[in-house]
Structure 1
C-alpha cells in the first residue's frame, strides 16, 4: 500500500479559501475545538489502521548545512522561503490508494477555525518514495 505525507502549513500554498487570523489570535474555545478535531482525525486513522505517524511542529526554523571536514555545521535562522511557508505539522498515512489519501486530506482541511467555521486549509499531499529507484524514478 502506498504511504502519503499530508503536510499542514502555517502559510503558503494557493490562496486561502477563507482568510483567517493566526491561531494565537483565536478565542481559546476555537483553539480547543481545532485541536479536538485533529485528535479525532488521529483516533479514526489509528482505528482504521491507516496512521503511520503524526506530529505538530513549532514555527521556529533553523537551516543547517555541512560545514566541511574540519568545521562545525553551519546554522542560520534565515533566509526564510519567500512565501514564509513553514510546515505546521504532518500526518503520514498508509492507505490503499491516492484517492483515499486525498479524502483524508480533504477531511483534515475541514478543521474548525475561528467561530467554528471550517478553515478549508490547503493540505500538501506527497507520496512517500518506495525506496526502489526503479519504482520511483522514470526511465
Structure 2
C-alpha cells in the first residue's frame, strides 16, 4: 500500500459452502491456513477482523418477520471482514490469496459508498438499473 493516500476500506463477504468432496481433515487444514494468512494480514494492518455468521437469522420485510436467512447454497453468506487497500483491484488481489478458495468458498469484495443515500441516484438498490 502507498503511504501517500490513506488506504480505503473494503467489505469482503464470504459466500458458498465447502466442496462436498473434501474431507473434514482437508477442510480443517484449509481453515488453519486461512487463520494464519488472516493473522498475518491483520498484523500488517492490511485486514481488519470480521466475524463468522451464525446459521440462524430472521428475514425482516414490510409484511412480516420470518425465520431465515433464505438463499441457495452458492449464495450463503458465511462471514465477513475488511481489507484496507488503495483500490478495488488491490483488495480483490489480496482476497485472491485466501486459502479457502481452493475448497469451494468465494468472496465478494465491495467498496463503501461515501455519500448518503438518495432516491435520485442509481445505486445497488435501484430497481432495473445496474449500479
Q: So what's the TM-score if we normalise by structure 1?
A: 0.63
After TM superposition, give the deviation of residue 48 of structure 1 in Å. Answer: 1.6
The residue aligned with 1:14 is: none
1:4-46 deviations in Å (ceiling 9; x for gaps): 11111125xxxxxxx921xxx8533223212211211221211
RMSD: 2.9
**Whole-Å separation in 2 of the counterparts to 1:48 and 1:95:** 12
Q: Is the 8 A contact 2:56 2:69 kept in 1?
A: no
Cα 1:42–1:91 shift into 2, 3 Å: same
Cα 1:56–1:133 shift into 2, 3 Å: same
User: Of 95, 100, 108, which aligns to 1:124?
Assistant: 108
Q: How many residues align?
A: 112
After TM superposition, give the deviation of residue 78 of structure 1 in Å. Answer: 4.6
Instruction: Say whether residues 1:107 and 2:97 are aligned partners.
Output: yes
Instruction: Say whether residues 1:48 and 2:44 are aligned partners.
Output: yes
- List structure 1 runs of 4+ shifted beyond 6 angstroms: none
Q: So what's the TM-score if we normalise by structure 2?
A: 0.67
The residue aligned with 2:12 is: 6
Q: Is the 8 A contact 1:59 1:86 kept in 2?
A: no
Structure 1: gaps spanning 5 or more residues: 12-18, 68-73, 113-117
After TM superposition, give the deviation of residue 65 of structure 1 in Å. Answer: 4.0
Cα 1:20–1:26 shift into 2, 3 Å: closer
